[in-house]
Amino acid sequence: MQLRRGDVLDGAMAILDEYGLGDLTMRKLATSLGVQPGALYWHFPNKQTLLGAMADRILDGVAAPPTAPTWDGALSELAHRFRAALLAHRDGAELVAATYASRLTTARVREAFVAAGLRARLSRAHAELAGYALLHYVLGHTVDEQSRLQLAELGALTRRPVSPDVSTETAAGSDDDLLDGDPAVRFDFGLTLFVDGIRTRLHTGGATSPGPNVTPVQSN
Amino acid sequence: MQLRRGDVLDGAMAILDEYGLGDLTMRKLATSLGVQPGALYWHFPNKQTLLGAMADRILDGVAAPPTAPTWDGALSELAHRFRAALLAHRDGAELVAATYASRLTTARVREAFVAAGLRARLSRAHAELAGYALLHYVLGHTVDEQSRLQLAELGALTRRPVSPDVSTETAAGSDDDLLDGDPAVRFDFGLTLFVDGIRTRLHTGGATSPGPNVTPVQSN
DNA sequence: ACCTGAACACCGTTCAAGT
DNA sequence: ACCTGAACACCGTTCAAGT
């Protein structure tokens, strides 16, 4: 039974889900597949490429056409789908963020955002920029959400070993409870700011910096 | 002449600026300081802590009170200061993002955002969430901006070895020119979406989530 | 075509022992 | 108090040679 490229990918995803990105090494992956480390390099030229393929798999389907009838609904649907895909695998957000520079992966997701922006009758240029901004927001939020989640799980097991590498505690302490609140609420709030910002852009006709392409239209 | 904690930090920043985060190893740092690798562990318990200290240094001063007279001016000033600080060092954004989970670093910056939100007369809860969202946006944007910049520099030297780890080219290709446009413009656009979103929030009085909060209002 | 064996050139971290 | 010497337990990647 020969090793196929897909088997390597499956094995890598399994290690990711069970042990996390930090424990995903080529050597451990090889061992789990019952093969020598060098064998992997016949299927993938290097680790970075393998990680890219994993990111692609994680984001598979995220960019499918949204079903929501309104542009803002579509935008929200895509953003939620994106976040859910990242959260569906251990360190999923971190992996996608790390592999993001060599995208192709995220390009399709951004294009889906752009399409929704065009539906709102944003100019192509503005839709591009909005998609870009939205992508960054969702990714940034979710990386943070997931890392807090995993810190919390770790803390729940070992009783307050929080921030083991920091001597002085965060000076804040007062309002942390809010950040410990439902991450979905935090996510939605930021999303709403974006959507409302886009709506404003439509009504004012783009009064601000990025050029004078106007055409005001209501949001339908 | 004994090694001080500050000397280690200085040496680390020097390596970062000259060779990048990937080449910043404890062993190289030790060599550059004329010392054995083990010596570093008297000053810093581990590499992660050292990276955290570097992030703190990079962000030093970013959270200082903004001088702008209006809340939106203050928000914009802080965001620009944040971005500038990240761009001031090679891989600065990546470092801060990587070290972000064990923050304290970014906590102060977020608090500055929150203060500006309060000046806008957002509720404390909303100001917190807005600060949080803004932080993620700026960080996400700047990590991307900086990584593209460095890819471009690399490409300029070696004639089109772009995306060396990817076989099929990105399907897009059509509108890439926009993303190659002035990053400052892209940054400002996303920022404007946020600020306009906050303004909307003020005028509607906080009817949350993507509900039916329409009330078209012109922007100040 | 696909994999093994074995090496190369590294890592971060620890810790007895020195001064 | 601060550092050396030397090791431990790893990495990703390469490549002749096997089948």
Other CB atoms within 10 A of residue A61 CB:
10
Q: Smallest CA–CA separation between A2 and chain B, in Å? A: 23
Contact A137/B136, CB-based, under 8 Å?
Answer: yes
pLDDT band at A197 (very low <50, low <70, confident <90, very high): very high
Over residues B130-140, mean pLDDT: 93
C-alpha span between A88 and A96 (Å, rounded): 12
Indicate which of A47, A86, A129 best probes the interface with B, i.e. most B CBs within 10 Å of its own CB. Answer: A129
According to the model, what pLDDT value does residue A19 have?
97
Least confident window among A114-123, B159-168, B190-199: B159-168
Mean residue pLDDT across chain A = 84
Helix (H, G, I), strand (E, B) or coil at A61: coil
pLDDT in tens, A85-136: 999 999 999 999 988 766 677 888 999 999 999 999 999 999 999 999 999 9
Nearest to B140 among A128, A139, A168 (CB): A139
Over residues B11-25, mean pLDDT: 97
DSSP letter (8 states) at residue B65: P
A98 touches strand D (CB under 7 A): no
In B, minimum Cα distance to A97 occurs at B140
Structure tokens at B134: 């803004």
According to the model, what pLDDT value does residue A168 have?
38
pLDDT band at B204 (very low <50, low <70, confident <90, very high): confident
Residue B114 in this model has a pLDDT that exceeds 90: yes
pLDDT band at B103 (very low <50, low <70, confident <90, very high): low
Other CB atoms within 10 A of residue B123 CB:
12
Residue B105 in this model has a pLDDT that exceeds 70: yes
Q: In chain B, count of helices (H) and strands (E)?
A: 10, 0
Cβ-contact A130, A113 below 8 angstroms: yes
DSSP H or E stretch at residue B60: none
Q: What are phi and psi of B97, to 5 degrees?
A: -65, -40
C-alpha span between B136 and A62 (Å, rounded): 21
Neighbouring residues of A2: CB distance < 8 A, sequence distance ≥ 6? none
Contact B137/A135, CB-based, under 8 Å?
Answer: no
Over residues B146-172, mean pLDDT: 57
Contact B210/A195, CB-based, under 8 Å?
Answer: yes
Identify nearest nucleotide to residue B47 by CA to C1′ distance. Answer: C12
Contact B104/A192, CB-based, under 8 Å?
Answer: no
Alpha helices (H) in A20-123, listed in sequence order: 26-32, 37-43, 47-58, 71-87, 92-98, 105-119
Distance B30 CA to C9 C1' (A): 18
pLDDT band at B212 (very low <50, low <70, confident <90, very high): very low
pLDDT band at B210 (very low <50, low <70, confident <90, very high): very low
Contact B129/A186, CB-based, under 8 Å?
Answer: yes
C-alpha span between B202 and B196 (Å, rounded): 10
DSSP letter (8 states) at residue B17: H
Distance A95 CA to C1 C1' (A): 31
Q: Is the dihedral of CA B60, B64, B67, B71 positive or negative?
A: positive
Taking Cα atoms as reference points, which of B122, B124, B109, B106 lies closest to residue B194? B122
pLDDT band at A208 (very low <50, low <70, confident <90, very high): very low
Contacts of B49 in chain A (CB under 8 A): 165-166
Indicate which of A100, A132, A219 best probes the interface with B, i.e. most B CBs within 10 Å of its own CB. Answer: A132
C-alpha span between B59 and A44 (Å, rounded): 38
Written as one letter, the residue type at A45 is: P
Contact B52/A151, CB-based, under 8 Å?
Answer: no
Question: Which nucleotides in chain D lie closer than 7 A to a protein CB?
Answer: 2-7, 10-16
Q: Smallest CA–CA separation between A201 and chain B, in Å? A: 8
According to the model, what pLDDT value does residue A220 have?
31
Least confident window among A28-37, A92-101, B8-17: A92-101
Residue nearest to nucleotide C12 (CA to C1'): B26
Which comes out higher in pLDDT, residue B211 or B114? B114
